[in-house]
Amino acid sequence: MMTRREALRMLAAGAALQLAPARMLAAMREARAVLGAKPGAAPRTLDAHQDATVRTMAEMILPRTETPGATDVGVAEFIDLMLTEWYDEPDRARFAKGLVDVDARTQALFARNFVDCAALQQGEILTVLGEEMMVAMQRRRELGLSDDIPAEKEEFYPMFRRLTLTAYYTSEVGATEELHFEIIPSSHDGCVQITTSEVTERE
């Protein structure tokens, strides 16, 4: 049985996304079952305004279309859980500072906080943040540095996007409806013997 810390480590690093589809589905189900990360859970680290900002930003990145969006799969709850149980205080402070910067940008341009802006204005801010992230990545490549940045040096927006995408694509909905992974049984029986006839069929 996966421990709580193992589940947190796997999801914080996005390690589940690197597994083969069947193993990913099994691992993410177990990890989420261990953590109890569910939509609707009350935030423990984010305050009400921060939580609303996270929800709005995540939904802008992964909106509901013909498939569920970020809110539907509990992205904000996942982010709050990771901030609470995995990240240390400097990481949490950097994340909070990033949310303050998002509001500072919208205040400077539109005289209101991010959550109070129109969708087009919110999209403008996220576009700028995304462009800044890409410029920083390009600079690292020009210097011959890896794209893999240590967690303690990761800027807010790359951190936010990584958590958002990990939350979404390790949810069952994200994996099956977006990545089109095949659903597997909710239980897993290890060390199951395969008969000769089954081997023949697979060949």
pLDDT digits (tens, 9 = 90+) for 18-48: 555 555 556 666 666 666 666 777 888 999 9
Spacing of C-alpha 97 from chain mean position: 19
Range in 68-77, 146-155, 159-168 the model is least confident about: 146-155
| Gap between the Cα atoms of 125 and 145, Å rounded | 27
Please tell me the predicted confidence (pLDDT) of residue 150. Answer: 53
Residue type at 131 in one-letter notation? E
pLDDT digits (tens, 9 = 90+) for 109-143: 999 999 999 999 999 999 999 999 889 888 878 78
**176-193 average pLDDT score:** 43
In this prediction the pTM is 0.74
| Gap between the Cα atoms of 106 and 154, Å rounded | 22
**Domain count for the chain:** 1
pLDDT band at residue 187 using 50, 70 and 90 as cut-offs: very low
**Residue 76 confidence (pLDDT) above 50:** yes
| Enclosing domain of residue 142 | 4-202
The Cα angle at residue 17 between residues 32 and 8, in degrees rounded to 5? 40
**42-55 average pLDDT score:** 95
115, 57 contact by CB (below 8 A) = no
**Residue 157 confidence (pLDDT) above 90:** yes
